[in-house]
């Protein structure tokens, strides 16, 4: 490997070729899953365009020309995992995404299995990394239903800061939503500027109350489209792509693969989305039943 001016960090090269986010690539390098020209890589290695990169023994296709930046908005339902596959056969957020030639969809952050709402995917590893990185302080907004009494003192503490097991955390804003006085559940909209694991749930649980529903409704300046069905996706137009790129100091994208009407949710397209989501759920349920039957037969 060389230290010339024409090199870039290994994790960045992998991310830019759509293998995964830069953070994920750093972890894979540390786990010994990446090689450069036949030698196991180490964190800090730099590579050129001519170096041969492999992940888990598989050659990574590289190109000097970068693909046009694409971003999908996905309305994640509860029950789906933010992973590419699951040994237990559970549904994942990647299963219904469109095929992408010579690239790979990268999830911008994660939502846990019991959280629904806005999840972004992109083929641009640098964009994904910057949108997730704490230094850019990208706001995330969640609608959250709380079971238990919430006092003004709790709300002040949650905005002032609470010590969690991985450090101080707080909500930058809390909006109390009107609710039925007789209900034991109350809805809030909360925002924070980082994406630690289960941070919203852990903040509320620190006050002795329980999160009974959690949905992400905004990422940065991008709101979840209200008409987008759960389990469906829509590709963002060039204007919205560049809004997100501007937030993390990346230059504007000039090309798009999107047709002019591809981001419009008219009645026909909504009906098609709902049918597709329903069909996928039925197929997944049928596969689950077949797997359970096969496992039962194996145990006999």
How many other CB atoms are there within 10 angstroms of residue 100's CB atom? 15
Write down the pLDDT at residue 255.
84
Residues 87 and 195 in one domain: no
Residues 78 and 121 in one domain: yes
Number of domains in the chain: 3
DSSP letter assigned to residue 285: H
| CATH code assigned at 47 | 3.10.290.10
Residues 229 and 212 in one domain: no
Residues 185 and 233 in one domain: no
Residues 100 and 28 in one domain: no
* 112 assigned to active site: yes
pTM for the model: 0.77
Size of the chain, expressed as the number of residues it contains: 300
Residues 39 and 176 in one domain: no
79 part of a folded domain: yes
Residues 86 and 201 in one domain: no
296 part of a folded domain: no
Tens digit of pLDDT at every position of the chain (300 positions): 445 567 889 988 888 777 877 888 899 999 999 999 999 999 999 998 889 999 998 888 766 556 789 999 999 999 999 988 888 888 999 998 998 877 789 999 899 999 999 999 999 888 998 998 888 889 999 999 999 899 999 999 999 999 999 899 999 999 998 876 667 789 999 999 888 889 999 999 999 999 999 999 999 999 999 889 999 999 999 999 999 999 999 999 988 877 755 556 777 777 888 888 777 777 776 766 766 666 666 666
- SS3 of 5, please? coil
| CATH code assigned at 166 | 3.30.2350.10
Dihedral sign, Cα of residue 24, residue 195, residue 193, residue 245: positive
Spatial CA neighbour of 205 closest among 165, 173, 259, 160: 165
Give the domain-ending residue among 219, 250, 265.
219
300 part of a folded domain: no
If you count DSSP H runs as helices and E runs as strands, how many of each does the chain have, helices first? 7, 17
Residues 168 and 47 in one domain: no
Which position among 45, 51, 103, 112 bears the catalytic label?
112
Task: List the domain range (segments joined by +) for residue 85.
Answer: 71-134+223-280
Give the domain-ending residue among 192, 219, 246.
219
**Paired tokens of 62:** 């590289």
Residues 125 and 173 in one domain: no
Residues 130 and 76 in one domain: yes
Cα separation, 188 vs 185, whole angstroms: 10
171 part of a folded domain: yes
Write down the pLDDT at residue 1.
44
26 part of a folded domain: yes
> Tokens 């949905």, residue?
215
43 part of a folded domain: yes
Give the domain-ending residue among 219, 246, 261.
219
Write down the pLDDT at residue 261.
57
Residues sharing a CB contact under 8 Å with residue 260, sequence separation 6 or more, in sequence order: none
292 part of a folded domain: no
Residues 43 and 89 in one domain: no
Residues 234 and 104 in one domain: yes
297 part of a folded domain: no
């Amino acid at each position: 490997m060389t230290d010339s001016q024409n090199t870039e960090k290994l994790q960045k090269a992998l991310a830019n070729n759509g293998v995964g986010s830069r953070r994920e690539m750093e972890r894979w390098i540390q786990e010994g899953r990446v090689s450069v020209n036949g030698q196991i890589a180490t964190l800090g290695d730099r590579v050129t365009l001519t170096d041969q990169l492999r992940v888990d023994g598989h050659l990574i296709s590289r190109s000097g020309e970068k693909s046009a930046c694409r971003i999908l908005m996905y309305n994640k339902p509860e029950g789906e995992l933010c992973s590419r596959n699951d040994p237990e056969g559970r549904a994942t957020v990647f299963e219904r995404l469109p095929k992408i030639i010579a690239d790979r969809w990268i999830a911008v952050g994660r939502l846990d299995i019991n959280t629904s709402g806005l999840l972004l995917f992109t083929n641009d590893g640098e964009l994904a990394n910057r949108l997730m990185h704490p230094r850019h302080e990208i706001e995330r907004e969640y609608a959250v239903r709380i079971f238990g009494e919430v006092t003004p003192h709790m709300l002040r503490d949650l905005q002032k800061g609470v010590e969690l097991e991985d450090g101080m955390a707080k909500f930058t804003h809390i909006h109390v939503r009107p609710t039925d006085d007789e209900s034991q559940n109350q809805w809030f909209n909360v925002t924070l500027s980082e994406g630690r694991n289960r941070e919203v749930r852990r903040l509320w649980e620190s006050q002795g109350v329980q999160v009974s529903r959690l949905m992400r409704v905004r990422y940065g300046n991008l709101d979840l489209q209200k008409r987008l069905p759960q389990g469906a996706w829509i590709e963002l137009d060039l204007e919205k792509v560049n809004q997100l790129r501007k937030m993390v100091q990346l230059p504007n994208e000039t090309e798009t693969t999107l047709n002019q009407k591809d981001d419009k949710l008219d009645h026909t397209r909504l009906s098609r989305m709902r049918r597709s989501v329903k069909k996928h759920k039925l197929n997944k349920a049928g596969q689950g039943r077949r797997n359970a039957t096969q496992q039962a037969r194996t145990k006999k």
